[in-house]
Amino acid sequence: MSHAIRTLLIANRGEIAVRIIRTAQRLGIGTVLVCHELDLGSPASAMADEIVLLEGRTGVAAYLDAAQIIAAAQKTGADAIHPGYGFLSENAAFARAVTDAGLIFVGPTADMIDLMGDKVRARAFAEKHGVPVAPSAIEDDDPVNFVAKARALGAPLLVKPSAGGGGKGMRIVRDLAKLDEEITQARSEGARYFGDGRLYVERFVEEPRHIEVQVFGDGKGNVIHLGERECSAQRRFQKIIEETPSPILTPALRERICQAAVDLARAAHYANAGTVEFIYGRDQFYFLEMNTRLQVEHPVTEEVTGLDLVEWQLRIASGAGLPLQQSEIRTDGHAIELRIYAESPSRGFLPTTGPLLVFDPPEGEGIRVDTGFGQGQRVTSAFDPMLAKLIVSAPNRSAAIERACEALREFVILGCETNVEFLGALAHSAAFRAGEVHTGFIDAHPELAQLPVLDGEVLMRVLGAASMALPSLREEAEEIPAMHAMMGGWRN
């Protein structure tokens, strides 16, 4: 049964809000944006047809206030809520409250979010349906003997919170003598970040690759995939470069890993967009987790397929079913996404703040920039420090890398330190060009994050140029002394 969406409320902010609004408006759907006062004046707030101001002790608290968001949808007559990613996008209670209020939740069912949001349950479900999982010890199965079973797996081990995500609380243990200490710390972090200290431990794959598969389902057992993405370029388990297709997968392995993702989603009668993530190493892949939402890196899939994934989400949520069958999906070329952050790579990737005095993204063939910022806005510590996503596409991987490096050189951001230069160094590195970057590569090569050392003469010239760029200093230097001004236009 189809339920046309007339008005869509976007329960998010920044670039993903811009992204959703753009597609909704193209489809003739009205848009309502819930917005904290810190985001007033943002591109998303300027684009939306209507804005509802959220109240909250902090910006994050406001965007996590489910009751306030649902009330905004009811007040404005919205038919549906799109959660984007982050915030409430994988909150089963929110999804359930949205549907209980008679609204459409643009995403999977609450039960599906519950299943896949619990990493232990999701892993058990994957194993039951024939999807490979890494050897592991699960605390829920045998709390008394959990540590002993984990130790019996042998090093190296990866300790994870059961309710975790985004790399928080994860610990790599190579020395079993430190296992008890690492479990204690992981439990503490799990409780702090997710309100759940339960853990599981699995065999760690050395120099692992992170491969994920984009799937869509109609909730009736019909599932297709849109290919894989490789997300192995990470710092502290956080993705910073994603690409498709993966440079390491053979056609046969690509078919196996994509089919495993489809099998998992089909077994769950999955609805809407989802991403099944795998760890790959030593010619074997293992199920990692399933994200029940749109991914930050979805644009690279859009660039090689020519499809609008947000449009697919809205059509499926309306009850229209899958827009295409698997045999109709085509991919062409290579796409790379680079996440632009306000951060200092040379200082351990610490977030930075400041006004965007200049924000001038690159343009041209095969270049796409998704951002929720504009020149003049201020970058604060209130939210995630991602400023933009630079997406490049080309007929092949080598050409895409060249285009990425050129676009990074043309991306001008002044006012706060960013990772643009670091991304350029990483993309230009021999390891990345050869497709040999694994999830621990960046941490193992801190030299990539170091700023170039300028000699004295070059440094003085740079400082001089920067000083003369200040309007106040330039005006003072160019000001005519009063005594000379009194002489008027007299010449000898």
CATH number at residue 290: 3.30.470.20
Domain count within the chain: 3
CA separation for the pair 198, 176 (Å, rounded): 20
Any idea which of 159-173, 249-263, 337-351 has the lowest mean pLDDT?
159-173
Res 453 pLDDT > 60: yes
Residue 185 belongs to domain with CATH number: 3.30.1490.20
Quote the pLDDT of residue 490. 53
Any idea which of 37-41, 86-90, 216-220, 478-482 has the lowest mean pLDDT?
478-482
Quote the pLDDT of residue 317. 98
pLDDT tens, residue by residue, 278-323 = 999 988 999 999 999 999 999 999 999 999 999 999 999 999 999 9
CA separation for the pair 340, 386 (Å, rounded): 6
Range of the domain at 163: 135-203
pLDDT tens, residue by residue, 167-194 = 778 889 999 999 999 999 999 988 888 8
219 and 199 housed in the same domain: no
435 and 387 housed in the same domain: yes
Quote the pLDDT of residue 157. 94
Strand pairing class (271-281; 171-173): unpaired
192 and 322 housed in the same domain: no
- Residue 265 lies inside a defined structural domain of this protein: yes
User: Please, are residues 147 and 153 in contact by the beta-carbon 8 Å criterion?
Assistant: no
Residue-by-residue DSSP string for 151-218? HHH-SSEEEEETT--TTTT-EEES-GGGHHHHHHHHHHHHHHHHS---EEEEEPPSS-EEEEEEEEEE
Residue 102 belongs to domain with CATH number: 3.40.50.20
368 and 416 housed in the same domain: yes
Res 103 pLDDT > 80: yes
Report the predicted TM-score, pTM, of the whole model to 2 decimal places: 0.88
- Residue 46 lies inside a defined structural domain of this protein: yes
CB-based contacts of 142, cutoff 8 Å, min separation 6:
149
Res 481 pLDDT > 80: no
Report residue 163's pLDDT band, with 50, 70 and 90 as the boundaries. confident
CB-based contacts of 460, cutoff 8 Å, min separation 6:
none
Res 28 pLDDT > 70: yes
146 and 225 housed in the same domain: no
299 and 371 housed in the same domain: yes
C-beta neighbour count of 443 within 10 angstroms: 11
100 and 237 housed in the same domain: no
- Residue 127 lies inside a defined structural domain of this protein: no
pLDDT tens, residue by residue, 387-419 = 999 999 999 999 999 999 999 999 999 999 999
Res 440 pLDDT > 70: yes
Nearest to 349 by CA among 427, 453, 239, 229: 239
Quote the pLDDT of residue 485. 58
Percentage of residues of the chain with pLDDT beyond 70: 92
DSSP letter assigned to residue 320 = -
User: Which residue type, as a one-letter code, is found at position 210?
Assistant: H
Domain stops at, among 433, 449, 465: 449
Res 67 pLDDT > 90: yes
CA separation for the pair 73, 65 (Å, rounded): 13
- Residue 126 lies inside a defined structural domain of this protein: no
**Average pLDDT estimate for 217-246:** 96
288 and 398 housed in the same domain: yes
Quote the pLDDT of residue 420. 98
Quote the pLDDT of residue 455. 72
147 and 59 housed in the same domain: no
CB-based contacts of 74, cutoff 8 Å, min separation 6:
101, 103
Domain stops at, among 203, 220, 243: 203
DSSP letter assigned to residue 450 = S
- Residue 181 lies inside a defined structural domain of this protein: yes
CA separation for the pair 168, 170 (Å, rounded): 6
336 and 223 housed in the same domain: yes
In terms of pLDDT, which residue wins out, 303 or 164?
A: 303
Computed over every residue of the chain, the mean pLDDT equals 92
Any idea which of 3-12, 143-152, 305-314, 449-458 has the lowest mean pLDDT?
449-458
Sheet with 157-161, edge to edge strand ranges:
136-138, 199-203, 157-161, 171-173
- Residue 456 lies inside a defined structural domain of this protein: no
289 and 431 housed in the same domain: yes
pLDDT tens, residue by residue, 340-379 = 999 999 999 999 999 999 999 999 999 999 999 999 999 9
CA separation for the pair 293, 82 (Å, rounded): 10
Report residue 486's pLDDT band, with 50, 70 and 90 as the boundaries. low
Quote the pLDDT of residue 467. 67
CB-based contacts of 203, cutoff 8 Å, min separation 6:
134, 135, 136, 153, 154, 156, 157, 158
In the chain, how many H helices and how many E strands?
Answer: 19, 23
Res 1 pLDDT > 50: no
Quote the pLDDT of residue 7. 98
213 and 301 housed in the same domain: yes
- With both helix axes pointing from N to C terminus, report the angle between 471-478 and 456-468 in degrees, rounded to the nearest 10: 80
- Residue 56 lies inside a defined structural domain of this protein: yes
Residue-by-residue DSSP string for 103-156? -EESSS-HHHHHHHHSHHHHHHHHHHTT-----EEETTT-TTTHHHHHHHH-SS
**Average pLDDT estimate for 97-117:** 97
C-beta neighbour count of 310 within 10 angstroms: 24
Domain stops at, among 412, 432, 449: 449
Tokens for 270, please give them.
């999955």
Quote the pLDDT of residue 162. 83
SS3 at position 363: coil
- Residue 463 lies inside a defined structural domain of this protein: no
